[in-house]
Amino acid sequence: MYVCGLTVYDHFHIGHARTFVFFDFARRFLEHIGYEVRFVMNFTDVEDKIIARAAETGEYPLHLSERFIQEYFKDASALHIRKATFHPKATEFIGDMIEFIGGLVEKGYAYAVDGDVYFSVEKVKNYGRLTKQSLEDMRAGARVEPDPKKRHPYDFALWKSAKEGEISWDSPWGKGRPGWHIECSVMSKKLLGDTIDIHGGGQDLIFPHHENEILQSESLTGKKFVNLWMHVGLLNLNEQKMSKSLKNFITMRELLTRHDANAVRYFFLYNHYRKPLEFSEAALGESSKTFSRLSNAYDLLSSSLDKAKGEKREFISVVEKYKSSFIEALKDDFNTPDALSHVFEFVRELNKYLEGETNRESLEEAQKFFRDVEEIFGFTFGKSISDVSERLMRIIIEIRENARKKKDYATSDLIRDRLKEAGIAIQDTPEGPRWKID
């Protein structure tokens, strides 16, 4: 499974997080039902936005991208996202990209102009298979910036000649760097082979990124590139796509100062992955309450184990029924809303059962079901350290706020300074104080 990752010039936002959480869940489920999953999620560590951001900060572009790769891992871990089998960086495969592009030129699918190399879309017959539009339809309905170097407006760059002072690598066409689309084709080929089972990403990558990956990969190898494409619907904020270009985004790091990771994962996964999703603080608050019902049921079950003395094991069949329904729902295009509805039906049955005489083996089977849900969805049931930390920070902030109201600034400053020493920053905002891990 190959998933398009980040262009690393900033912290990832919650629109990215929806995609990353879904594929983390999908991998967990596939492994749960017996597949061995070789999972690749790349980092684009050289690109126009990285170069522009590095110019602003005064950093070397690859140092900037490496810094944000490490920040990604911190935030992903906080969101219970497991590391992929491989996290390749584009710059580690420059030689392979040059070889791949050379193969396309040799086969007549690409052409060089003044140090740039373009893929010729008119050389292929089935452009547009993911968007289900012909090249003519796309050309008629789109606005494409004219470029006198291109033979066709939809020809795309495989290699970009270097501008003055830009980071670059030597190639047969002169100094330059790879285009965005070629990176994923090359990294997937090197790590997963010519044909891969699953390729995924956000819905916004269908065109042109994934369309172009198909063209260049199949043109070079002559083999089917991907068996199954999976695209996650957009996360919208105020009915607009969340994106850094529109400046209407919330970073995952910021969101996790206000909400538990379990609530965030529940919010993303209770909605089917292919559908668009509207983000709001209120909706996330409801997800937090709903997840608490599951967590509380787990706590009640755990505390009931030692009290179980009954000999009747009939409840095991109830557990097996709901577990089977849960798994079957997930096998149906990863239908997480349906699967979670079976979990809640099970919780209602469990609560009734706990009111009477219980059997320990039955409760142990119920606990195993909870652990399956926990592992597959990436939840943590019960009172986790993160839950305790969140409540503790609320108490500390409340004490500091009371000190400020009493004009006891020595105490409020002491709390702020000691927290800073511990790596926790307090931000005073118009909406009230917030905390984050520095």
Per-residue pLDDT tens digits for 354-406: 999 999 999 999 999 999 999 999 999 975 445 566 668 878 988 998 998 89
Q: Are 269 and 377 in contact (CB under 8 A)?
A: yes
Sign of CA dihedral 23, 25, 31, 34: negative
Asked if omega into 208 is within 30° of 0 (cis), the reply is: yes
Per-residue pLDDT tens digits for 5-44: 999 999 999 999 999 999 999 999 999 999 999 999 999 9
**One fold for 2-241 and 292-377:** no
Tell me what the pLDDT averaged over the chain comes to.
91
**Of all helices (H) and strands (E), which one includes residue 236?**
strand 235-237
Residues paired with 425 in a beta bridge: 436
**Crossing angle (nearest 10°) for helices 336-354 and 281-304:** 40
pTM: 0.85
Give the amino acid at 304: S
Residues in the chain with pLDDT values less than 70: 136-146, 239-247, 383-391, 430-431, 437-438
CA atoms of 274 and 291, how far apart (whole Å): 22
Going from N- to C-terminal start, the domains of the chain cover 2-241, 292-377, 385-437
In sequence order, what DSSP letters do the residues of 122-152 get, joined into one string?
Answer: GG-S-TTTTTT--HHHHHHH------TT-SS
Q: Which pair of structure tokens corresponds to residue 324?
A: 């089977």
CA 227 to chain centre: 21
Per-residue pLDDT tens digits for 119-134: 999 999 888 888 887 7
Per-residue model confidence (pLDDT) at position 385: 46
**Residues with Cβ < 8 Å from 189, sequence gap 6 or more?**
96, 100, 217, 221
The CATH classification number of 292-377 equals 1.20.120
Domain range 2-241, CATH architecture:
3-Layer(aba) Sandwich (3.40)
